[in-house]
A and B are shown apart, each in its own frame.
Chain A
Amino acid sequence: MSVQERRVGLKLKTKLTIYFAVYIIALSFVPLIHDSLLAQSRWLGYGTGAYQYQNQNYFILFNDPYDGSSKPHIHVNPTFAPASRISLIEFSDWTSWVNDHNLFNGFNVTMRADPSILDVAYSRPEIVIHKYIEVSSDAVKVIMQSEKEFGAHLELWRWVMTSINGIPISDVAKPLVIAPTTLIEFTFQDDRLQALGHGRIVMSAMPSQIQMWPHEKGFNKITVDFVNSMMSFTVSGSMEAVGTPSVPWSYALLPYVMPIVAITVVALYLLVDRYGRALKNRATRRSS
């Protein structure tokens, strides 16, 4: 290879390397761009049949493979740590029943989403029940509706609630039925964020029974029984900081991390490549 050819080759190599480095780094910004411009305030389908919704205050997962059969699992985004997703409450299909049939195993489920509402249809030969999940900036509304009246036993989980409707965990040793009401208010703590959380569930009709279940350090579930053709649960929550939080890491921060990873790996490659070329040139010079 002549010197001229070698120079042209080197130029081409350098050009291609620069293009490829720029390509890698540019693509690494895709998650961030998507997260900032396209992912807000609409239902997004992903994976093998999961959905999520993100707005300024809430993050909702439905059927996420790592989150299990919690349909939906509502998280709250604290104003002082917007990228953190703190579990507020999960409606568990796995432990809920309609007309004595388990919601997870006893029904054929189909999901359809438009940007603002997720419509989940649970069907059996004798009945079809729709679960609509509608999110606004200040609440998440879960509506269960059917053309026929149905009896439901729903379980709402959170690990763990420190008090429910003003009753602290210290006062309850076994499952407790609370007075009929359409409002459930609960509190919880987040040790990592050093924060105190408040949750509120407003029901559209009076349920036949509400029960709260104590666990080791707090209540871990609320069960609601009702008979109706429609019932809505309007869930809202908030958090207040009471201490100095440790650095809060969250999955939501990954879009910011990806470009850093890309730039670091590409920079390392360029350094090693340059060093290798310098060594090669030195060896070539010495041998000639």
Chain B
Amino acid sequence: MEERSRIVLLAAAVRVAVAPFFMHAGDVGTIYESSVMALKGLNIYDFVSAKTLQMQNATGLPVFFEGYAYHPLLIYFFTPFYWVFTLIAGQGPVMIDGHYPALPVLIYPWTPLLLLMLKVPIILADVLVVYVLAGMDARKAKIYAFCPYVIFVGVVWGMFDALVGLFLLASYLTSSRSKFLSGLFYGLSLMKLYTAVLLPLYAVRLYGRWKELAQFLGGLAITLLPVAYYLVVSPKSIWNVLVTFQGGRLMGGVNLYNFIWIVQDLIFDLVVSMVPTILLIVALYYLITRFARKAPLLESILAIMFAYFLFGKVINEQFLISIFPLILLSRECDHRIWVAPFVFIFLRSPFYYFMLPMLWTSPVFYGYYLQADEVWRQLQAAGYLQIPMYAVGIAFSLLIFWNLLQLVDATRGGIASIPGVTEPTGYRVYDRVLKRARGVWENSISNRP
């Protein structure tokens, strides 16, 4: 068997073996709940928006229900697999509640099968990324395929940033051949919205090449049709969920802003949360005007996303997956930055929280869960976990900053001066030039007396 197939099959096997037994109850619960609603033809945004209004009325605070707050397309990646599940297991409930701070009720024996089915799109996305990377560099494919962070986020947690990563990678790789496909894939990568920061980059790069810009926007427009549909059908709900919620979120996550979690004053926190947004706009403007047209697309995308990771107010543990394949392709970036968000996962959520599908199979295990959770809650209430979380958040921001400087430095240092390097094919040319130069240099060293 050729190496590429071996890596791909092994990557798939690892994921399939792990997927049925773990989950993040809140996030998998949201996908499950939304798949059920989508299959019944119900409006997900109306549901989430109504819950938010209910919470705001009860608390008198600008709080939001943390449900499905993604691009409408996303749920259609999961619903077909949920539909297959219902053909086997029927329509009965399998996961009841689970939104923070409640714990879910899980129905057996169907829970493992449901988890596997809901994670199939994530596994497929991971496997496709591995397949594509293996076509270019087997070592990089292996890093992605067996990186504990990637495996954990995808099949243990059940988070779907691998889909964003796949589509962003596809958008980059197709950009030299078909602007339409690049736009289409970029549009699909918007299913988690944060890649929206890349739109000005694409627009600026294609500015003046009107035909190509039109092709790119045509591809993008197709992916926006479901958004347009919901804007017509329930404008208030989708606006509330996608714009007001996402725009009005508190800063925090694996970044230097998670100190805000100890400032228990929502109104103040929301005001302070605007500070990084202002800096993000400045950083994006600077990067796009100085680098966007000159630097290779790969480096430009990464620089913009790194700026977002530095100044975007919410950077969750799983976001790095979206650019991880691109980081692997870049010579300038250190892919080991995944360690920081990986560590952060276990500071924010206890490891046993991901084991609920196994722990809920027996009252004895459930008892252990409650005992462990008592200790965890005490640690949390005393503030002991906030300190390492803040330290890791700052460390991750600094690592991102270092990688951004490396990119900017390398880009200023000559990549742009080599003709034809602004696209992926150009990057390969640059790569060959570099290799040749290195060969010449190594020869000159070995020929020294």
Mark A residues whose CB is within 8 Å of B: 1, 5, 9, 13, 16-17, 20, 23-24, 27-28, 30-31, 34-35, 38-39, 44-50, 52, 65-67, 108-113, 249-251, 253-255, 257-258, 261-262, 264-266, 269, 273, 287
Contacts and interface: CB of A to CB of B under 8 A. Distances in A.
Given A5-B413, A48-B55, 17 more contacts: A9-B409, A20-B310, A27-B256, A28-B259, A35-B263, A39-B265, A45-B59, A48-B100, A48-B101, A49-B59, A66-B380, A113-B60, A251-B382, A255-B263, A257-B387, A262-B390, A264-B391
Interface in B3-23: none
Contacts of A249: 382
B349 to A, nearest CB: 14
B272 interface: yes
A225 B215 CA distance: 74
B259 A265 contact: no
Nearest to B258: A258
A1 B414 contact: yes
B395 interface: yes
B265 A44 contact: yes
A20 B401 CA distance: 8
Contact of A258 (B262, B377, B413, B414): B262
Contacts of A262: 256, 390, 394
B223 to A, nearest CB: 32
B257 A110 contact: no
Nearest to A287: B445
B335 to A, nearest CB: 17
Interface of B: 55, 57-61, 63, 100-101, 256-257, 259-260, 262-269, 272, 275, 279, 310, 377, 380-383, 386-387, 390-391, 394-395, 397-398, 401-402, 405, 409, 412-414, 445
Contact of B398 (A35, A112, A255, A266): A266
A217 to B, nearest CB: 19
Q: 6 shortest A-B CB distances, which residue pairs?
A: A49-B59, A46-B264, A251-B383, A45-B61, A44-B265, A1-B413
| Residues of B contacting A: mostly | helix
Contacts of B391: 261, 264-265
16 contacts: A5-B412, A27-B275, A28-B259, A30-B260, A31-B262, A39-B264, A39-B265, A45-B61, A52-B264, A66-B380, A112-B60, A249-B382, A251-B383, A253-B383, A262-B394, A273-B402
B58 A30 contact: no
Given A65-B101, A265-B391, A111 B265 contact: no
B264 A47 contact: yes
A48 B261 CA distance: 12
Contacts of B394: 24, 261-262, 265-266
Nearest to B398: A269
A5 B411 CA distance: 12
Contact of B264 (A44, A108, A111, A250): A44
B278 to A, nearest CB: 12
Given A45-B267, A265-B398, A258 B259 contact: yes
Nearest to A260: B387
B402 to A, nearest CB: 7
A13 B390 CA distance: 25
Contact of B259 (A27, A112, A113): A27
B215 to A, nearest CB: 36
Contacts of B268: 34, 38, 44
B265 A46 contact: yes
Query: Which residue, A52, A108, A249, A257, has most C-beta atoms of chain B within 10 A?
Result: A257
Nearest to A65: B101
Contacts of A49: 55, 58-59, 61, 63
B183 to A, nearest CB: 33
A257 B383 CA distance: 11
Contacts of A5: 412-413
Contacts of B402: 269, 273
Nearest to B61: A45
B262 A24 contact: no
Contact of A251 (B260, B272, B381): B381
Nearest to B64: A48
Given A258-B259, A269-B398, A45 B387 contact: no
Contact of B395 (A17, A108, A109, A265): A265
B263 A9 contact: no
A52 B401 CA distance: 36
A67 B57 contact: no
A52 to B, nearest CB: 5
Query: Which residue, B256, B257, B386, has most C-beta atoms of chain A within 10 A?
Result: B256
B442 to A, nearest CB: 11
Query: Which residue, A48, A65, A258, A261, has most C-beta atoms of chain B within 10 A?
Result: A48
Contact of A31 (B256, B263, B397, B412): B263
A1 B414 CA distance: 7
A20 B266 CA distance: 26
A50 B386 CA distance: 19
Given A9-B409, A262-B394, A45 B266 contact: yes
A28 B266 CA distance: 17
Contacts of A112: 60
A254 B385 CA distance: 11
A234 to B, nearest CB: 25
A24 B267 contact: no
A16 B263 CA distance: 28
Contacts of A27: 256-257, 259, 275
Contacts of A38: 265, 268
Nearest to B279: A23
A16 B405 contact: yes
B378 to A, nearest CB: 9
A111 B262 CA distance: 22
A263 to B, nearest CB: 10
A261 B390 contact: yes
A111 B58 contact: yes
Contacts of A45: 59-61, 265-267
A30 B274 CA distance: 14
Nearest to A262: B394
Given A48-B63, A52-B264, A110 B57 contact: yes
B202 to A, nearest CB: 25
Contacts of B262: 31, 251, 254-255, 258
A13 B405 contact: yes
A79 to B, nearest CB: 22
A34 B260 CA distance: 10
